[in-house]
Amino acid sequence: MNLLIKNGRVIDPSQNIDDVLDVIVENGLVKEIGKGLKAPSGAEIIDATGKYVVPGLIDMHVHLRDPGLEYKEDIISGTKAAVVGGFTSVCCMPNTKPTIDNKAIASYIINKAKTEGFCNVFPVGSITYGLSGERMSEMGELMESGCVGVSDDGKPVNNSELMMRALQYAAGIGIMVISHAEELELVGEGTMNEGYTSTELGLKGIPRVAEDIATARETLLAEYTGSPIHIAHVSTKGAVRIIREAKARGVKVTCETAPHYFTLTDDAVRGYNTNAKMNPPLREADDVAAIKEGLRDGTIDAIATDHAPHHLDEKDVEFNVALNGIIGLETSLPLSLKLVDDGVLTLNQLVAAMSCQPSKILSLNRGALTTGAIADITLIDPSVEWVVEADKLASKSKNSPFLGWTMKGAAVVTVVGGKVVHRR
């Protein structure tokens, strides 16, 4: 199927393009970008007037729950949610059952995504076998079988020596280490951010310094070893400052945050709302401000969702018992577009954070609309308004703190490898 996407505002930070242009897609690749292009014979013409045409969005941090936890999500439902949200690629974390710590599981995911999924799925392997924090996984084989990074996401690699060796080893074979930065002793039995709200609700708090300390350790290990590291789901003011300072020193550190960390504070937990329970927890207003500033000044490289589907039975319970995490694929784009509306980011910065940077950090060879590039393209209507409703979400799970919210902006067409996989 060939396409002519006409009259859209094409934004491609990789080429510094921001102009009303036409895009021709042929044989799954971007053939040409320019003004007044003619449709190739048999091509579908998509009128993109008033829409943004951007390199397909990439979510570098999702949990697809497949294999093993398909009652929460699977590769089909998860990638469907992704393309509805405008994502053409997702990177799935290894805390499946069994863990993505071997070639068989990585291949299973890649094959299932290719045959049944709606978008590209790039698995992230584990740093340690079975996420045990004890012994390094076979990172080389994981990379050869298609993993684009390694992470023990969900928990930190507590042993500093092991983490240092993992960074050295991974750098040697050229695979990115993604850190879940958290000091477990300080987290303890905590269930939400430690602050005034936790005091009022009588819930055990997780102090912000638990994330700050771990982030500092990771940047120091990366600095000491000279290896790159990527910090997942940054949520605190302190972590932003530590990463900013590390970058200034030349440490090879990149990081991501998630839409809920720049949209919500721990006030959302009031009423013991388990859909506002995640790890790291929602923080406070000054953290939200710091996250926005970090995105604006480039300290934070990427926006990822940490899409973490959980069954209703795992959320419709007492607060302490509820599992951590929220879904995010279908609400990320409008929540992020709000940063542009609010003047925090330029549109160019936003597209970079949601496409170009994730591709660059994990070497995905995506995130650009250059001639000959794989045609992963997202068309965005920035003005359409819609309400988040549980029964209309494509994800199997409905654990979102944004249910009932009115969102502005949505992906109207999602193109993966030249094929239209979603139309609104």
Partner 1 sequence: MAEFKHKHIIALRDLSKEDIELLISTAESMREINNRDIKKVPTLRGKTIINLFYEASTRTRTSFEIAGKRLSADTVNITTSSSSATKGETLSDTALNLLAMKPDIIVMRHSVSGSHYFLANKVNCSIINAGDGAHEHPSQGLLDMLTMKDRYGRLDGLKVAIVGDITHSRVARSNIQGLTKLGSSVFLAGPPTMLPPGVEKLGNVTVCSSMNEALQDADVVMMLRIQQERQGKTLMPNAREYSRYFGLNPNNIKLAKPNAIVMHPGPINRGVEMSSSTVDGEQSWILKQVENGVAVRMAMLYHVCGGEMGE
Give helix 237-249 / helix 285-297 axis angle, nearest 10°.
30
- Residue whose tokens read 């982030």: 215
CB of 208 to partner 1, least distance (A): 10
- Residue whose tokens read 């940063």: 339
Measured between its terminal Cα atoms, the distance across the chain in Å is: 19
Q: Please report whether residue 201 would count as binding partner 1 according to CB under 8 A.
A: yes
- Nearer to partner 1 by Cβ, of 148 and 203: the residue is 203
| 3-state DSSP assignment of residue 420 | strand
- Nearer to partner 1 by Cβ, of 200 and 391: the residue is 200
Interface residue with partner 1, options 153, 194, 301, 330 (CB under 8 A): 194
Report the DSSP beta bridge partners of residue 302. 256
| Residue 223: φ, ψ to 5° | -65, -45
Q: What does the block give as tokens for 346?
A: 């330029």
CB of 215 to partner 1, least distance (A): 21
- Nearer to partner 1 by Cβ, of 173 and 317: the residue is 317
Q: Please report whether residue 319 would count as binding partner 1 according to CB under 8 A.
A: yes
Sequence-ordered strand ranges (E) for 66-172: 87-92, 120-125, 149-151
- Residue whose tokens read 């790890």: 279
- CA–CA separation, 424 vs 421, rounded Å? 10
**How does strand 253-257 pair with strand 419-423?**
unpaired
| Amino acid letter for position 15 | Q
- Nearer to partner 1 by Cβ, of 161 and 200: the residue is 200
The stretch near partner 1 (CB under 8 A) out of 70-78, 91-99, 310-318, 375-383 is 310-318
CB of 316 to partner 1, least distance (A): 7
- CA–CA separation, 169 vs 197, rounded Å? 42
Q: Please report whether residue 45 would count as binding partner 1 according to CB under 8 A.
A: no
Q: Please report whether residue 189 would count as binding partner 1 according to CB under 8 A.
A: no
Q: Please report whether residue 316 would count as binding partner 1 according to CB under 8 A.
A: yes
Q: Please report whether residue 365 would count as binding partner 1 according to CB under 8 A.
A: no
CB of 203 to partner 1, least distance (A): 5
Residue 244 DSSP one-character state: H
Q: Please report whether residue 343 would count as binding partner 1 according to CB under 8 A.
A: no
Interface residue with partner 1, options 42, 115, 200, 343 (CB under 8 A): 200
Which bin fits 88, alpha (ψ -120 to 50), beta or left (φ > 0)?
alpha
Interface residue with partner 1, options 27, 199, 363, 371 (CB under 8 A): 199
Interface residue with partner 1, options 56, 195, 294, 409 (CB under 8 A): 195
- CA–CA separation, 287 vs 313, rounded Å? 31
- CA–CA separation, 58 vs 305, rounded Å? 10
* Active-site residue identified among 59, 152, 306, 376: 306
CB 294, CB 240: distance < 8 Å: yes
Report the b/e string of 301-320 with b at 16+ CB within 10 A.
bbbbbbbbbbbeebbeeebe
| Residue 4: φ, ψ to 5° | -120, 115
Q: Which of residues 202-261 bind partner 1 (CB under 8 A)?
A: 202-205
CB of 72 to partner 1, least distance (A): 18
Q: Please report whether residue 271 would count as binding partner 1 according to CB under 8 A.
A: yes
- Nearer to partner 1 by Cβ, of 4 and 187: the residue is 187
CB of 204 to partner 1, least distance (A): 7
Whether residue 297 lies in the annotated active site: no
- Nearer to partner 1 by Cβ, of 129 and 319: the residue is 319
- Nearer to partner 1 by Cβ, of 320 and 370: the residue is 320
- Nearer to partner 1 by Cβ, of 159 and 199: the residue is 199
CB of 269 to partner 1, least distance (A): 9
Q: Is the peptide bond before 280 cis (omega within 30 degrees of 0)?
A: yes
Residue 10 DSSP one-character state: E
Q: Please report whether residue 198 would count as binding partner 1 according to CB under 8 A.
A: yes
CB of 317 to partner 1, least distance (A): 6
Question: Which of the residues are catalytic?
Answer: 306
List contacts with partner 1 (CB under 8 A): 194-205, 271-272, 316-321
